[in-house]
């Protein structure tokens, strides 16, 4: 017999009782007298400090802090915790479950999430990507960009050459070339609204039209594969997961504009865009060497200083330049 506190489940009144078990029957005596078969009762999980609770079919329950006596009573009655509870109480099983969860999350992040993001991005209505791209450009225009200072004749010349390049694409959707002067230096990037932003600074750095076309071909590769949208979907899923875990929705929302400015692509994504660019350059009879030289110019510019924006979002490595040259 052990001491316990009894509540009827309808009022907050406390009743002091004693619990005993005999012949598969649990009996309560004291302020309240009642009994029930063990099979009709629900016992809470084992805890270190909190009270153990026994709940009756009608919602009434009793609590006891005498863990040692209560566990002995359960054992003597033949009661067994569920297999889930037993696993939770086993430190080896707990460690194994934690490791399994980590591996599962890692595999999901590395394989399942990119595949799902690719499928979603490829099947999104054009209107969704148009809205995303235009909103992103409006945000950048308000904070980072200003009107291009390139002569109109130079802009038209670059755009004319670029549109000829686009004719070799396998898509009939037009691509708009957007000229901007930037506070962050040489850069070029594709938006899901089928716009490629080209800064004055990168035009000045790449004073060779073929080199410039090679960079634009690479950005066309990002457009063709919906890389911006896929990356945004992946980041949003991760942010949503963090929200479920930590509950801070406002922090996620506030971080979206930052994501637009700091949208980094993986090596696999860059390899896909590079392959697309190489194929497009060959189709237009432009030497692939121009692609490698463009990368080398940007790499040289960054020596001894902070990486230029294009290099921070499109990582340039010696292996990547070597791979481009091997494709010649």
Domain boundaries, the chain: 2-81, 90-123, 125-326
- The yes-or-no verdict on residue 262 having pLDDT over 50 is no
Local structure of residue 11 (DSSP, 8 states): S
Residue range 175-229, pLDDT digits in tens: 999 999 988 788 899 999 999 999 999 999 998 899 999 999 999 999 988 888 8
Per-residue confidence (pLDDT) for residue 269, from 0 to 100:
83
**Cβ–Cβ under 8 Å, residues 19 and 26:** yes
Per-residue pLDDT averaged across 139-164, rounded? 93
- pTM for the complete prediction? 0.63
Phi first, then psi: give them for residue 15, nearest 5 degrees: -120, 130
Residue range 274-308, pLDDT digits in tens: 999 999 999 999 999 999 999 898 888 766 455 56
3-state SS class at 23: coil
Per-residue confidence (pLDDT) for residue 247, from 0 to 100:
54
Closest residue by Cα to residue 118 from 231, 258, 24 = 231
Per-residue confidence (pLDDT) for residue 211, from 0 to 100:
95
**Cβ–Cβ under 8 Å, residues 309 and 184:** yes
- Domain covering 2-81 in this structure, CATH number: 2.30.29.30
Taking the C-alpha atoms of residue 132 and residue 229, their distance in angstroms, rounded to an integer, is: 9
- Which helix (DSSP H) or strand (DSSP E) does residue 21 occupy? strand 15-22
Where does residue 102 fall: left (phi above 0), alpha (psi -120 to 50 degrees), or beta otherwise? alpha
**Cβ–Cβ under 8 Å, residues 291 and 214:** yes
């Amino acid at each position: 017999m052990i001491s316990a506190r009894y509540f009827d489940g309808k009022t907050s009144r406390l009743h002091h009782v004693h619990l005993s078990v005999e012949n598969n029957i649990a009996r309560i005596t004291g302020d309240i007298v009642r009994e029930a078969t063990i099979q009709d009762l629900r016992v809470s999980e084992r805890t270190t400090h909190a009270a153990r609770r026994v709940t009756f079919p009608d919602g009434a329950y009793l609590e006891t802090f005498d863990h040692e006596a209560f566990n002995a009573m359960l054992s003597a009655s033949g009661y067994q915790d569920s297999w889930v509870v037993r696993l939770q109480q086993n430190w080896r099983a707990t460690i194994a479950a934690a490791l399994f969860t980590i591996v599962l999350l890692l595999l999901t992040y590395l394989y399942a999430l990119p595949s799902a993001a690719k499928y979603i991005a490829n099947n999104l209505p054009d209107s969704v990507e148009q809205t995303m791209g235009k909103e992103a450009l409006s945000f950048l225009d308000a904070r980072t960009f200003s009107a291009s200072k390139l002569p109109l004749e130079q802009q038209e010349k670059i755009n004319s050459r670029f549109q000829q390049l686009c004719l070799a694409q396998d898509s009939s959707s037009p691509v708009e070339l957007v000229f901007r002067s930037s506070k962050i230096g040489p850069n070029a990037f594709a938006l899901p609204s089928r716009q490629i932003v080209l800064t004055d600074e990168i035009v000045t750095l790449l004073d060779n039209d073929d080199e410039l076309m090679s960079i634009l071909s690479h950005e066309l590769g990002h457009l063709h594969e919906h890389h911006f949208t896929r990356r945004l979907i992946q980041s949003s899923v991760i942010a949503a997961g963090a929200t479920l875990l930590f509950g801070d929705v406002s922090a996620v929302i506030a971080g979206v504009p930052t994501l637009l400015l700091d949208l980094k692509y993986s090596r696999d994504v860059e390899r896909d865009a590079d392959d697309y660019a190489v194929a497009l350059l060959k189709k237009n009879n432009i030497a692939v060497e121009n692609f490698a030289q463009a990368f080398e110019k940007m790499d040289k510019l960054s020596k001894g200083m902070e990486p230029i924006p294009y290099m921070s979002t499109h990582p340039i490595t010696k292996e990547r330049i070597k791979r481009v040259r091997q494709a010649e």
